[in-house]
Every structure is written in C-alpha cells, then in structure tokens.
A and B are shown apart, each in its own frame.
Chain A
C-alpha cells in the first residue's frame, strides 16, 4: 500500500498549527477594530436634522447657556430636548419669516413636536443619568466634546462600555469644579493632581469598586 501522505506532510501539519493560531489572532484583532469602529458606534457621524439647527451658532456665537434649552440636565436623567416654545422665545421675532425655520413654525402652529434625530443613543440595558454626572463634576464637554464648535452635532465619544469605565475607574482625571461644568472651552490640564484628588473628595465620589459595580449601570 502506497504512502497516503508525502514526507513533507509533517511540516505542513506543524505549520498549519502556527498559521491557525496566527489567523485566529488576526481575526480577533479585526473583530476588535470593527467593533470599535464608527461604523458600529456611530461616532463622529453627523445626523441630518429636520431643521438645520446649529449649536455652534446658538451657544458658540450667541453664548446661550446649555441649560437655556436643556433645562432638566441638573434634575433629571434626561437633559431634555426643548419644546418648540423655547425656539419661539427668540424666533417669534428673529428670522420669523425665514423658510429655514418653517418646520419650527409649523410645529408651533400644529402643536406637533419636531422629530429630531437622536445623536446619542445609549443601549437601553445601560442606565444613565445626566443629573448625577453634572452634580459630581463631569462637564458637558467631557462626554459631548466642544458642542460650540459643531454646526451639526455628532457623537464625540464611542459610548461603549470601555469608554464609560475609563472614567468610572479613574474619575479624578475627568472631573472639574462646579463653576466650569458648562464651560465648553475647559481644559482639564488646568488642575494639578492634588486639586483633582481634593475635588474627588469634595464631590464625595464613591470608590472605584462602587463605580464599576455591574448594577451601577445595569439595573
């Protein structure tokens, strides 16, 4: 009976083991990169909105405070999307005839909300509350980026769990004084390590064990 395998088959078999491991590694690496890509996280993706609303103009150029529109950010889990009435506070007089604002006026006339496209969409198995983050010294721009530079708002952060944890494991690297929460130009390098530790103590931020407990976010 003839040999079924050639003599070199031993080497092929050994090499195939190495190649299999290498291929597996490459596949795993590709998987991690795809999972983190903006293709899946929607990071940096500007959404088309029903009205060409510019945050850059309203908060950057006009200096309107975030809380003028997002009134519930300090008291509720949701920062709040303003009702059309808030737009009309100014736009009953300013640009009151502009065709760009017709969807706003139509919404006000017909008492139907403007259907904005949600930019930051957390998965619903994750609990998130704006008010506690603001109260404990996390500023708007820490997560949302410099909104005052965004004509169309995009998602600055990946919103993935590893991103949440990067702060929950090490909150003192990200917090700022209460007076600077809504300052979008805030530079975190302004604080020394001691000041950060002091802030963390003043805010009574809980231990890393508490902040990274499963049920802190998945409740």
Chain B
C-alpha cells in the first residue's frame, strides 16, 4: 500500500528481493546446520588410538624411532631397570657368554634356569608393607591368570589349557636371586611373553617382593632358615621377613 501511494518518494518495495533471498539463504543454512553437530564433536586433531591415514600403519600414536632416549628415560640404573649386576655382560664377558645360564628341562617340559650369574641378589627397592601391598595387587592383576593365587602355576588360563608354568615353591626358585624374577617379568621366559610394556619397573620389583612373600607362605618350615640366609645382605633387615609373613597370613586363604 505504502509503496503504491508514495511511488515517487520511495520507489523501492518495503522488502527488497535481495533481502528475501538473504533470508531464504539463512533459513536454508539453519536447517542444514542441524546436521553439523560433528564440527565440535570430532575436531581435526588426534587423540590416543585415533586413526591417521597419513602413516602406513594408520596409527596416529607414533612409536619412538629405535634407539631414541627421551629426556629422563636413560634408565642407566642397571640393577633397577634390568635386575642385572652392574658388570654383567660388559668387561671381559661378551654378550653371548653373559647370557649363558645353566638350564634344564623339568617334568612338564619347561626349560628352566638353574644358575643365575648376572641377576642381582636383592630387590633394590626397600621391602616395606606398602611395597608388598602394591605387589600383591599387581600380582593379582597380571600374574595370577597363569601362576595362580599362591604361585603354584594353576591359574585360570592354565586351567583353560595354557602350558603349566613352573611352581615358585621348589628349591630352585626359592634359591633364585630377586633379579631373576625381575628379568623374567621384564623379558619373558619360555612360553611367557614379556610383561615389560604392561608393568612399570617399580611395580615389577613390588611383584618380586610379593613372590618372595608367597614362597615363604608355602614353606613355613624353611621360613626361619630363609630369613636367616637373607638377613646377611638384605637391604632392609627387619621389615621384609616380618611384613612378608603377616602378608601371607592375610591373603593366603582368601584368594579365589
């Protein structure tokens, strides 16, 4: 009405064609943008385990090039990170001779070590109640599946048909140095794979301490003798045997 009455003063219509076009465009955009939730939902960045087609193996998480040492991860403490003596595999011994440890085959066909030339005798971590608690917890996560609740090698996976591992409770392993257990957890042995990537070094030592506690628990008569033998070179002379014994009494019966 207005436009027709005042044609001369105001030749444009109230709403121009361009404005209508813009409004239509806006409406169409709003409708389309309902489906655009995924802009913020999946942002163009890579989080853990995301796929990345740029690399041949499609992994966004890249592995360190071989030989790379991140700052603070030199791990030069051989006793703590490898469970080996400081001079093992070096000096006059070549890598081949250093690795030589006497082995034999036991009744279930496992190849077992009978001498431990390179392994350190004692746990480099002070054995405390906290360490044993941690070791118990980690043992029940990673080891119990095959080695069983008390370490006799009757875990659930073994009952499902996995080859039976040697029991902890024979003279050979009672006399084995702590470093041997650490080495087997770290690098695997026989049919057991390496658990080095699943269990950090500190936890491996906790597990070693707990395995010692299990051994004492299943061998009460040898307990006193073992404690006396170990007392000479123990890092912590009083707590290990005491806490180990109480630990066993607490957990011996309640394992499934």
Contact = CB atoms under 8 A, between A and B. Distances in A.
B42 interface: yes
Interface string B157-197: 10011110000000000000000000000000001011101
Interface string B204-241: 00000000000000000000000000000000000000
A93 B51 contact: no
B141 A68 contact: yes
A107 to B, nearest CB: 10
At the interface, is chain B mostly helix, strand, loop or mixed?
loop
A127 B256 CA distance: 38
Nearest to B161: A94
Interface in A62-120: 62-65, 67-68, 71, 76-78, 80-81, 83, 85-86, 88-90, 92-94, 111-113, 115, 118
A123 interface: yes
Given A93-B163, A94-B162, A124-B47, A62 B157 contact: yes
Interface residues of A, number: 29
A208 to B, nearest CB: 26
B42 A124 contact: yes
B94 interface: no
B198 interface: yes
Nearest to A123: B41
B99 to A, nearest CB: 22
B58 A89 contact: no
A125 interface: yes
A201 to B, nearest CB: 23
Given A81-B49, A124-B42, A90 B162 contact: yes
Contact of A125 (B40, B160, B193, B199): B40
A65 B256 CA distance: 13
A85 B161 CA distance: 19
A70 B173 CA distance: 30
Of listed B145, B191, B195, residue having the most chain A CB within 10 A = B145
B195 to A, nearest CB: 8
Contacts of B57: 111-113
A17 B245 CA distance: 82
A64 B42 CA distance: 33
A115 B145 CA distance: 26
Given A62-B145, A64-B145, A68-B141, A112 B193 contact: no
A78 B48 contact: yes
B59 interface: yes
B41 A94 contact: no
Contacts of A78: 47-49
Contact of B40 (A80, A93, A94, A123): A123
A85 B157 contact: no
A177 B256 CA distance: 20
B43 interface: yes
Contacts of A124: 40-43, 45, 47
Nearest to B146: A90
B256 A63 contact: yes
Contacts of A90: 145, 157, 162
Contacts of B163: 93
Given A78-B48, A93-B163, 6 more contacts: A68-B142, A85-B193, A89-B195, A90-B145, A94-B157, A94-B160
Interface of A: 62-65, 67-68, 71, 76-78, 80-81, 83, 85-86, 88-90, 92-94, 111-113, 115, 118, 123-125
15 contacts: A62-B145, A62-B157, A64-B145, A68-B145, A78-B47, A86-B198, A90-B157, A92-B191, A93-B163, A93-B191, A112-B58, A123-B40, A124-B42, A124-B43, A125-B43
Identify the 3 closest CB pairs spanning chains A and B, nearest first: A65-B141, A78-B48, A123-B41
